Amino acid sequence: MESNNYQIKIEGIGTVRLKRSNKARYLRLKVHPHQGIVVIVPRNISDSSALKFVSQKKSWIEKSVKKQSSYKKQTTRFTESSSFATRSHQLFLLRHQKNTMKSIVKDDKIVIWYPEIAKVEDDRIQTFIRKTIEETWRLEAKKILPVRLNELAKKYGFQYNKIKIKNAKTRWGSCSAQNNINLNIQLMRLPDYLIDYVMLHELMHTKEKNHQALFWSHFEQILPGARKLDKELNQYNLSFW
């Protein structure tokens, strides 16, 4: 019988965590800055086959680990003395006697409790903190972004179909062929003028679907300096903060 979730050390690679999934159809390998090397294993694939797959990917893993290590140094490490706030909520980290972690987002506060026997710097706790912050951004984004998108659409004469708020990994926003606009909760990290830039960029795609000269020509007419704002946006790392 195969195990559901366990860790194993592989020479030359390090600790690898295998997670079984009923939904997975094929083996998936992820290298995360906080969670480490994770293999998602479908039910019909044996542990030995999964480990063989990892060994075959050794070169890719080594490159990814090196890259993620660099990213990890750039990410925020939260402590009880950290002064961190989203747009509407201040973060508070507290210890408690339980062995579990707990979070509450209420009024203008994010309160997170973690075990007093643990170190707040532990990756497991850091990951929990970051997920809670992202969920707070989601709440704020759903409240703020649809209203602002509608204001900009009316001001500049755009029409769109639906809006969705997502925690996307690769884009700040997107516009489908049906003029459905997706906006990333990570926009809540940006200053207002860059949020407006992203929204107007996607609204522009309701009329011009590509990034050819006509797109930028029309965009500059409604937002002078759009190209400069695009370069400024590229200075923000979407995946790591």
What is the tens place of the pLDDT at every residue in 138-191?
A: 999 999 999 999 999 999 999 999 999 999 988 999 999 999 999 999 999 999
* Whole-number Å distance between alpha carbons of 55 and 53: 5
> Quick one: fold of 141-233?
Zincin-like (3.30.2010)
Share above pLDDT 70 across residues of the chain, in percent, rounded to a whole number = 94
Beta bridge partners of 9: 15
Sketch the domain layout of the chain as residue ranges.
Answer: 5-74, 90-136, 141-233
pLDDT value for 1: 43
Share above pLDDT 90 across residues of the chain, in percent, rounded to a whole number = 64
Beta bridge partners of 8: 16
- Give residue 229's identity as a one-letter amino acid code: L
- The answer, as to whether pTM is greater than 0.85, is no
